[in-house]
């Protein structure tokens, strides 16, 4: 949804001067991608330990890296097929770590809503991404769906900031799995 809103292009234009400066320092887009992945992993550890504030800050920084790596690649003309693959590959881990940290927190505190909301959010985020990738490998484009990765990260951040992690994971689980089903329907229409 956000991907088709024009927000990506506006953000790229705003951050282009910053990307040029970062690029002139020799920092590669892939380094930003890896940094975002590491920040996401650390956020998951902090969530698991019950440090929601610190984990949320790192998750926000990870999300910023996820936005910025592509802008840096396009601005500095360093976009590559491997960079695109690396970004998508590490995004799956970046989806997993924060939610698994919340899942562990739900388990350790006996919060079953947080535990199951996190579990089904992981399943939904993976199914959404897999449905698109597999459909594309078979020659069909299925980018449809109401809740892609940017929306998932934003919802999770907002829910953590306002202090409703369990309820947020339940909403995230419903919307991410609904998106996976939308992509399944898209694939069934295009691949028959």
What is the per-residue burial (b if ≥16 Cβ within 10 Å, else e) of 106-140?
Answer: beeeebeebbbbbbbbbebbebbbebbeebeeeeb
Contact 156, 172 (CB under 8 A): yes
Name the active-site residue from 66, 69, 87, 91.
91
Alpha carbons 49 and 97: distance in angstroms, whole number: 13
Active site residue 91: yes
Contact 64, 43 (CB under 8 A): no
Q: With CA atoms as reference, report the closest residue to 126 among 100, 160, 96.
A: 96
Tell me the DSSP string of 75-87.
Answer: HTT---HHHHHHH
Instruction: Show which residues are catalytic.
Output: 91
């Amino acid at each position: 949804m956000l991907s088709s809103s024009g927000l990506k292009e506006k953000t790229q234009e705003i951050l282009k001067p910053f990307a040029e400066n970062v690029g002139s320092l020799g920092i590669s887009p892939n380094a930003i991608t890896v940094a975002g992945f590491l920040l996401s992993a650390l956020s998951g550890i902090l969530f698991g330990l019950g440090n929601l504030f610190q984990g949320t800050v790192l998750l926000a920084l990870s999300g910023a890296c996820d936005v910025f790596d592509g802008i840096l690649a396009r601005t500095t003309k360093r976009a590559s097929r491997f960079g695109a693959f690396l970004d998508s590959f590490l995004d799956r881990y970046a989806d997993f770590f924060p939610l698994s940290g919340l899942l562990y927190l739900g388990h350790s505190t006996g919060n079953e809503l947080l535990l199951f909301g996190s579990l089904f959010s992981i399943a939904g985020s993976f199914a959404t991404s897999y449905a698109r990738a597999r459909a594309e490998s078979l020659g069909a484009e299925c980018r449809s769906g109401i809740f892609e990765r940017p929306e998932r990260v934003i919802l999770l951040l907002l829910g953590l900031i306002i202090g409703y992690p369990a309820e947020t994971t339940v909403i995230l689980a419903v919307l991410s799995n609904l998106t996976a089903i939308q992509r399944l329907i898209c694939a069934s229409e295009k691949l028959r």
